[in-house]
Structure 1
Amino acid sequence: MTSPLPSASAASVLDLAPVVPVVVVADVADAVPLARALVAGGLPAIEVTLRTPAALDAIREITGAVPEAVVGAGTVITPDQVTACRAAGARFLVSPGWTDALLTAMRASELPFLPGVSTTSEVVALLERGVREMKFFPAQAAGGTAYLRSLAGPLPQARFCPTGGIGPGNAPEYLALPNVGCVGGSWMVPSDAVAARDWARVEELARAASRLTGAGGTRR
């Protein structure tokens, strides 16, 4: 499989930056300036969720205009969406959960992907299928850092991007865990800043997020 990620900087989505912005784009006109602000702030991996009609066009616009961004598609839940996201130029895929059909489609896309899990059985099932990188969602509601810490002992081969209920206050606790590569969050793209098109504020918040490390200064 040929990875669409920048080989010089990372072999995995989990290693591009400590935080992956989870973005909802309502107006495609906002996509490019938003992506440029996030990249300028040090967050090159951007997850554009398929929660609005503008999402696929946003991915397409960012891919064409901001080559330094590694734009992926989030909230991918059907094989048809996998196909559409790849055609739009997505460079990775993220799902809130998974099924065998969705997993098969993600593999066939030849894009890096992070299937969502929230239970030990789901993690073991993915490991059985050769998948070692996953999204842990909804992170806080599903047990947070205590749950992930408990998984590290028996399942050290699994690596996670926890998403859901994570902000600058608790992100360092997640980043300190040995089985966490990065976290997902939306605090650097607050709705009021996006509505006002205050890209300078987005860049400032992204820069602060890009400097986050684990509790005690560690970065796994």
Structure 2
Amino acid sequence: MAQNTKRLLEILTAQPVVPVVAVSTAAEGVDLARALVAGGIRSIEVTLRTPAALDAIRAISEAVPEAICGAGTVLTPKQLDQAEAAGAKFIVSPGATMELLDAARSSSVPMLPGSATASELMAMIEEGYEILKFFPAQQIGGAAFLRSIAPVFPSLRFCPTGGISIDNVRDYLSLPNVICVGGSWLAPKAAVAAGDWDTVTRLAREAAALSA
């Protein structure tokens, strides 16, 4: 687990914001990844919320090697295996089940599991995790919650996701137990649908300039 933690830390600390994106085609995923990389954002979470997600992860991994493409919304061991086979460099789950944790344990791809309560955080510590997704962040207490639990769980660091925007991102990045945030605002649906990659690159550049 320690080696996977190191690799995950390297991926997540490379930039203050990890874009959380959903794509309708593999080609769209490639164009989106290129636009994000052009703005200084290399680590990208492609969520498994669309039929094209796995093909997009595979295409991005092949066509945009400078991008570090991960798979998000991974809910089952089967999805984890599929994402790994598609070339995902990291795995993100909104929560954690014992079955998923067992699958992650035998995988060479690091996983960022989600936790939202004190009991879940304690369980993740027992499983050897030090970096966790906090989801849905804004809806379950936001930056104030993470600030309040820092003294209780000093070994844990978080990537909060959910309800985070350019308006509140600094509230999270100012916390010592936050290493980065996940955000969908870097890839607005309208801009992606219109192929407005200049807007995506501009938003990525602004996000890359934020200090974690």
Compute the TM-score of the two structures, normalised by the length of structure 1: 0.92
Supply the AA of the counterpart residue of 1:30: E
Give the 5 Å matches for 1:29-44. Answer: 29-44=27-42
Where structure 1 has 5 or more consecutive residues not aligned to the other structure, the ranges are 214-218
Q: Secondary structure at the match of 2:100?
A: helix
C-alpha distance in structure 2 between counterparts of 1:100 and 1:121, whole Å: 14
C-alpha distance in structure 2 between counterparts of 1:159 and 1:24, whole Å: 25
Equivalenced residue count is 212
Please, what is the CA RMSD of the aligned residues? 1.8
User: Which position in structure 1 is the counterpart of 2:65?
Assistant: 67
Q: Secondary structure at the match of 1:62?
A: helix
Give how far 1:212 is off: 1.2
Contact 2:12–2:43 at 8 Å: present in 1 too? Answer: no
User: Which position in structure 2 is the counterpart of 1:174?
Assistant: 172
User: Which position in structure 2 is the counterpart of 1:97?
Assistant: 95
Q: Secondary structure at the match of 2:138?
A: coil
Q: Secondary structure at the match of 1:39?
A: helix
Could you give the per-residue CA deviations for residues 90-138 of structure 1, whole angstroms, max 9, x where no partner exists? 0000000101110111121111111011111101110011111110000
Give how far 1:2 is off: 10
User: Which position in structure 2 is the counterpart of 1:148?
Assistant: 146
Give the 5 Å matches for 1:37-56. Answer: 37-56=35-54
Compute the TM-score of the two structures, normalised by the length of structure 2: 0.95
Counting helix residues as a fraction of each chain, which structure ranks higher?
2
Give how far 1:5 is off: 10
Where structure 2 has 5 or more consecutive residues not aligned to the other structure, the ranges are none
Contact 1:2–1:110 at 8 Å: present in 2 too? Answer: no
C-alpha distance in structure 2 between counterparts of 1:31 and 1:177, whole Å: 32
User: Which position in structure 1 is the counterpart of 2:84?
Assistant: 86
User: Which position in structure 1 is the counterpart of 2:207?
Assistant: 209
Supply the AA of the counterpart residue of 1:171: V
C-alpha distance in structure 1 between counterparts of 2:86 and 2:186, whole Å: 24
User: Which position in structure 2 is the counterpart of 1:137?
Assistant: 135
User: Which position in structure 2 is the counterpart of 1:216?
Assistant: none
**Which stretches of structure 1, 4 residues or more, deviate above 2 A after TM superposition?**
1-7, 10-14
Q: Secondary structure at the match of 2:140?
A: coil
C-alpha distance in structure 2 between counterparts of 1:2 and 1:97, whole Å: 20
